[in-house]
Chain A
Amino acid sequence: MTLNILTLNFAQAISRLGEYLSYGFIRNALIVTVLVSVSAALLGVVLVLKRYSLLGDGLSHVAFGAAAIAATLGILDLEMITLPVTILAAVILLTLSGKKIMGDAAVAIISAGALAVGYTIMKVGGGEANLGGDVCTALFGSQEILASDTTDIVIIATITALLIVLTVIFRHKLFSLTLDERVARATGTKTGLYNLAIAVVTATVIVIGMKLAGALLISSLIIFPAMSAMRLCKSFKLSLLLSPIIAAIGALLGVLLSIILETPVGATVAAVDILIYVITHIIKGKS
Chain B
Amino acid sequence: MSKTLIRVNSITLSYDGVNVIENLSFDICEGDYLCIIGENGSGKSTLLNAILGLKRPTLGKIELCGIKRREIGVLTQQNPVSKDFPALVCEVVESGCLNRAKNGLFINKSAKKTAFENMERLGVTSIARHPYRDLSGGQRQRVALARALSAAEKMLILDEPVTSLDAKTTYDIYSLIHDLNRRHKMTVVTVTHDIDAALKNGTKILRINKDSVFFGTVDEYLRLDEAKAYVDADHKQNGDDIPFGEGGFRYMGGAK
Contacts and interface: CB of A to CB of B under 8 A. Distances in A.
Interface of A: 49, 51, 169-170, 172-173, 175-176, 178-180, 182-183, 185-189, 229-231, 233-239
B54 interface: yes
24 contacts: A49-B82, A172-B98, A173-B98, A175-B87, A176-B95, A176-B98, A178-B85, A179-B81, A179-B85, A179-B92, A185-B52, A185-B54, A186-B52, A186-B53, A187-B74, A187-B151, A188-B68, A188-B99, A231-B84, A234-B130, A235-B87, A235-B131, A236-B88, A237-B91
A188 B69 contact: yes
Interface string B154-182: 00010000000000000000000000000
A187 B68 CA distance: 8
B91 A187 contact: no
Contacts of A176: 95, 98
A46 to B, nearest CB: 12
A236 B91 contact: yes
A182 to B, nearest CB: 6
A187 B157 CA distance: 11
Interface residues of B, number: 32
Interface in B76-101: 76, 80-82, 84-88, 91-92, 95, 98-99
Contacts of A233: 86
Contacts of A238: 86
Contacts of B54: 182, 185-186
B105 interface: yes
Contact of B86 (A51, A173, A234): A234
Q: Which of B68, B72, B85, B92 has the most chain A CB atoms closer than 10 A to its own CB?
A: B85
A180 B81 contact: yes
Given A187-B74, A188-B68, A179 B151 contact: no
Contact of B104 (A180, A189, A231, A236): A189
B114 to A, nearest CB: 14
Contact of B105 (A49, A169, A180, A187): A169
A286 B129 CA distance: 22
B95 to A, nearest CB: 5
A188 B88 CA distance: 23
A178 B80 CA distance: 10
A133 to B, nearest CB: 40
Contacts of A180: 76, 80-81
A198 to B, nearest CB: 16
B54 to A, nearest CB: 6
Nearest to A45: B86
Nearest to A186: B52
Interface in B21-64: 52-54
Given A183-B74, A188-B68, A234 B98 contact: no
Given A172-B107, A175-B95, A234-B129, 18 more contacts: A49-B82, A51-B82, A170-B105, A173-B105, A176-B95, A185-B52, A186-B53, A187-B70, A187-B73, A187-B99, A188-B99, A230-B86, A231-B84, A234-B88, A235-B91, A235-B131, A236-B85, A236-B86
Contacts of A229: 86
